[in-house]
Every structure is written in C-alpha cells, then in structure tokens.
Amino acid sequence: MAPIHAAGGILVRGGSRPLIALVQRRKDGEWVLPKGKLKPGENALAAARREVVEETGHNVFVQEFLGVISYGVGGKAKLAQFWRMQAASAAGRKPTRDIKAVQWLPLDSAIEKLSLPFEQAFLRSVGPQAVKQVRTPARPSRAAPPDRAESADRADRIEGSPHPEPAPSTEPVGESPPLDATQSSRKGFLRFILNALSGRRSQGTPGTQSQP
C-alpha cells in the first residue's frame, strides 16, 4: 500500500535567541510542527512551503532539507519531509482555520511543548542545526557625528568630484540559497525510507530519519 506523503518545515525566527514555530491543531488541541499532505501533482518542496505559510501566517525563506518522519495513520504509513525555513517578516495573514494558535518558543521549550513523541525526537535531532544557521539582521551602528571641519572637507571633496558617491547596496536578509544541491541526496534518502517502510510487517511503528 502506497504511503501518504506530507511535507512541512522547522520554521525559525531570528534574533539574539532564535525561536521555533509550533502550531496547535483545532481538531484535537495538539501542538505539532507545521506540515500537511501534498495536493495531487504537487511536489514536496512546494507543499512544505505552502503548508507552513498557511498554518503560521508567515512568509518564509526555504533553506536546506532536514529529514523525514515516518509514522502510521489509520493503518497506513505516512511520510513527512521537512525543510529548514526562516520567517521572512511579521505575520502577513491569519493562519488557516484548522489552526487554533501559533506559538514561538526556544528550542528546548519547543521540544517539550510538542504533543507527539516522534516529532519531539525529530526536533531534538535536527533542531540544533536549524537554530544554529539562523541569520539575524545586522543593526546599523550609530557613529559619532563628524566635527565641522571634517564635514566641510567632505563637502568640498564631493562638490569637486565629477561623479557622486555611490549609494550603499542592500540585500534581503535570509534569502534562500540554491536548493539544487540538496535535491539528489534528498531523493535518494527518501527512496531509502520508502524501501524500509515496504519491508515492515507493521506500519504502526513511528520513526524518524534526519538528513546526515
């Protein structure tokens, strides 16, 4: 029997102490990692991004593949693939109606808060990698104002220059790196999990596999 495919993300918000997003399901009140089933014809990466945006209300930058959780649901095997993600900004939309609440917690608190033991084990395995690589926006330093002599000298140099000084360039923080490098290893890793699942006599035993 073919497994159910799902995808989601370990969504992290930067800062002096990175925080991880957990969502509370309305149907049972359980706190879980944001994830959901793939739509027909949808690939896992697109589904992971869509589900995390819908369930947390945040736009995200998708980073590297983290691993797979395998567990049983209604007598069927379910595979949930996860990517590391970084929140791009404050929430821009309300979470989907299936989600009762969203909470941002430090790694240790997030592990303790999760309702499902196999998600706790997975986050305990990949969480340190996820929070370690969070990029925090750098705050501009406040330099002391120049004295009048320095200001006048600078004005003279600018006025006598045939070309104005170029404006400093800026880049968006947390932009996703190329994902092509992780795709082949992810596919091979997923084939390994599928082969392992097909050899199980019982599909009710949950397990986790993180990307080495």
Check residue 194 and give its pLDDT: 60
Residue from 16, 137, 134 nearest 85 by CA: 134
Burial 35-61 (b: 16+ CB within 10 A, else e): bbebeeeeebbebbbbbbbbbbbbbbb
Check residue 162 and give its pLDDT: 45
Check residue 188 and give its pLDDT: 60
In a domain, 17, yes or no: yes
Contact 186, 68 (CB under 8 A): no
Beta bridge mates, 174: none
Residues 6+ apart with CB under 8 A from 48: 7, 8, 9, 35, 62, 81, 82, 83, 85
In a domain, 78, yes or no: yes
Range of the domain at 79: 4-136+172-201
Helix (H, G, I), strand (E, B) or coil at 173: coil
In a domain, 30, yes or no: yes
User: Which single residue is written with the structure tokens 């370990």?
Assistant: 10
CB under 8 A, 24+ apart: contacts of 36-39: 36/6, 36/7, 36/8, 37/4, 37/5, 37/6, 38/5, 38/6, 38/7
DSSP string covering 54-86, please?
HHH---EEEEEEEEEEEEEETTEEEEEEEEEEE
CATH for 22? 3.90.79.10
User: Which single residue is written with the structure tokens 């925090």?
Assistant: 136
Check residue 73 and give its pLDDT: 86
Mean pLDDT by 10 residues, the chain (212 residues): 94 91 97 97 97 96 96 91 90 89 97 97 96 63 49 47 40 41 56 59 54 60
In a domain, 163, yes or no: no
* DSSP state for residue 155 in the 8-state scheme: H
The answer to pTM > 0.85 is: no
In a domain, 20, yes or no: yes
Number of structural domains found in the chain: 1
In a domain, 106, yes or no: yes
In a domain, 154, yes or no: no
Check residue 164 and give its pLDDT: 42
In a domain, 22, yes or no: yes
Backbone angles phi, psi at 24, to 5 degrees: -105, 120
Contact 14, 88 (CB under 8 A): no
Check residue 186 and give its pLDDT: 61
